């Protein structure tokens, strides 16, 4: 008999994570109802997928007016985009319904080993690198979790993966209870998501939960100098910025435990922040028996992901670089630090409550001018207007045109917004595509 036969589960969130959880719950015998407070017209695409698979959905005002009585549901599974303290989840917990996060729910229904990857920046690149290395060296893997396909979808698929590369956000870690991964990777920590968390401390504490349930048999891989406890796990460290660590990068070469294992000459990723992603991936895959030489060879065939320091075009001796994935100040600083030429920066987007004044000290004469877009454009101009030339643009096409006019031959024009895109776009991908289109239209 399936483990949840005769039980009724509520799934909160009609998106990809919610659909995956609904599939997995039904696969194990549960009756499922999906709830989403958004009006149906705004999430019609997601609802079409739910309905195509026969799931009952409750949306909009009907979901907002919902009354939950004790015994109506045996479990409520929450998608990571929702805060457990919001009114809809509270209706269920107030009625005594046990709440579990989508990732935690899936974790209990699989025995596939996992490499869990968290950090403020670099998670997606590192997750993709790890899966790429594992697949290239004969170990069936998949990048998943906060990256693309949800863990519930993977588990529901029944595919017998050898190791999963699981990107984990702070939102997913908020609701864990017993979750642990055999390898837990902490890339970095910087200010972000202050529109969700009341303080940096609460954001840090949420991310640090990745180590909450680790055992002495597990491995923690942590960027050198990060002041986070890795619990009982064996701790390995990495650095591309001169710190003493188990794995390091210096002057084009990778070192592990004092031994040079290869160089970066044939690797398409660039920038020291990406070298740290590579070091973290090498240490992670080492745990599953991948030799460093084999891992580096695999990385040479890795195509850098879109919207992450991606070269779009060279035009009139100017490089146009799309770093739309830089949705916080730390990612913006990492992008600037990886450049070796003067540049004009396009930045701005959604107001997330972040302080951008620390960036003043890191401009170091490298940034020739700045063009601002989005909700925070005017405030950014106030922050940086006394340092260098700044301009405001109403849309991406104007931003690219103005940045080009402010640039000189040999410069780079870079979109590295330093915040999220939801004031103007559906996501950083759509923002990056707008930049690409504007650049390609230059003539």
Among all chains, which residue has been given the structure tokens 């596939």? 112
CB-based burial label for 326 (10 Å; 0-12, 13-18, 19+): buried
CATH architecture of structural domain 110-299: 3-Layer(aba) Sandwich (3.40)
The DSSP output letter for 362 is: G
pLDDT, tens only, 244-286 = 999 999 989 999 999 999 999 888 787 788 899 999 999 999 9
Query: What's the pLDDT at 59?
Result: 95
Q: Indicate if 110-299 has the same CATH topology as 8-104.
A: no
User: 390's torsion region: left (phi>0), alpha (psi -120 to 50) or beta?
Assistant: beta
Question: What pLDDT was estimated at residue 338?
Answer: 73
Other Cβ atoms less than 10 A from the Cβ of 227: the count is 7
How far is the C-alpha of 152 from the C-alpha of 77, rounded, in Å?
A: 11
| Spans of the chain, pLDDT less than 50 | 1
- Dist CA 14 CA 18 (whole Å): 5
The pLDDT, as a whole number, for residue 423 is: 93
* Three-state DSSP state, 164: strand
- Neighbouring C-beta atoms of residue 317, cutoff 10 Å: 10
> Rounded to two decimals, what is the model's pTM?
0.77
Eight-state DSSP code of residue 364: T
Phi, psi angles (nearest 5°) of residue 253: -120, 150
Q: 8-104: which CATH topology?
A: Rossmann fold (3.40.50)
Determine contact, residues 156/23, Cβ cutoff 8 Å. Answer: yes
| Phi, psi for 196 (deg, rounded to 5) | -110, -35
First to last CA, the chain: 66
CATH class assigned to 310-440: alpha beta
DSSP string spanning 96-118?
A: TPPEEEHHHHHHTT----EEEEE
Residue 39 confidence (pLDDT)? 92
Domain ranges of the chain: 8-104, 110-299, 310-440
pLDDT of residue 166: 98
At residue 340, the pLDDT reads 67
């Amino acid at each position: 008999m399936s483990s949840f036969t005769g039980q009724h589960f509520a799934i909160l969130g009609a998106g990809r994570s919610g659909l995956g959880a609904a599939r997995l719950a039904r696969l194990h015998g549960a009756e499922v109802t999906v709830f989403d407070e958004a009006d149906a017209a705004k999430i019609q695409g997601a609802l079409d997928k739910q309905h195509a698979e026969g799931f009952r959905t409750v949306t909009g005002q009907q979901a907002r007016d919902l009354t939950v009585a004790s015994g109506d549901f045996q479990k409520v599974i929450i998608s990571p985009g929702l805060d457990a303290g919001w009114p809809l989840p509270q209706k269920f917990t107030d009625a005594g319904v046990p709440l579990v996060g989508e990732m935690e729910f899936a974790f209990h229904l699989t025995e596939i080993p996992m490499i869990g990857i968290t950090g403020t920046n670099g998670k997606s690149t590192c997750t993709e690198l790890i899966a790429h290395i594992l697949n290239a060296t004969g170990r069936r893997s998949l990048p998943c979790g906060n990256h693309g396909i949800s863990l519930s979808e993977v588990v529901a698929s029944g595919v017998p993966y050898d190791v999963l590369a699981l990107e984990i956000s702070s939102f997913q870690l908020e609701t864990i209870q017993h979750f642990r991964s055999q390898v837990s990777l902490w890339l970095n920590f910087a200010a972000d998501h202050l529109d969700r968390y009341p303080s940096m401390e609460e954001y840090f504490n949420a991310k640090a939960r990745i180590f909450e349930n680790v055992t002495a048999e597990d491995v923690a891989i942590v960027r050198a100098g990060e002041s986070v406890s890795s619990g009982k796990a064996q701790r390995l460290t990495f650095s591309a910025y001169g710190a003493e660590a188990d794995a390091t990068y210096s002057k084009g070469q990778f070192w592990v435990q004092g031994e040079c294992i290869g160089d970066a000459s044939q690797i398409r990723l660039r920038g020291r922040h990406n070298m740290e992603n590579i070091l973290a991936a090498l240490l992670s895959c080492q745990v599953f028996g991948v030799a460093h030489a084999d891992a580096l060879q695999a990385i040479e065939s890795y195509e850098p992901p879109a919207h992450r320091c991606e070269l779009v075009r060279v035009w009139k001796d100017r490089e146009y670089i799309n770093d739309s994935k830089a949705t916080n100040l730390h990612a913006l600083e990492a992008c600037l630090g990886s450049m070796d030429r003067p540049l004009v920066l396009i930045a701005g987007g959604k107001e997330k409550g972040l302080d951008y004044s620390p960036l003043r000290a890191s401009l170091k004469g490298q940034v020739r001018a700045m063009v601002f877009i989005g909700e925070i454009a005017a405030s950014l101009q106030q922050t940086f207007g006394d340092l260098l030339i700044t301009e405001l643009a109403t849309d991406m096409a104007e931003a690219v045109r103005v940045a080009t006019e402010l640039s000189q031959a040999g410069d780079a024009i870079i979109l590295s917004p330093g915040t999220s895109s939801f004031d103007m776009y559906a996501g950083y991908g759509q923002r990056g595509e707008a930049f690409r289109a504007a650049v390609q239209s230059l003539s």
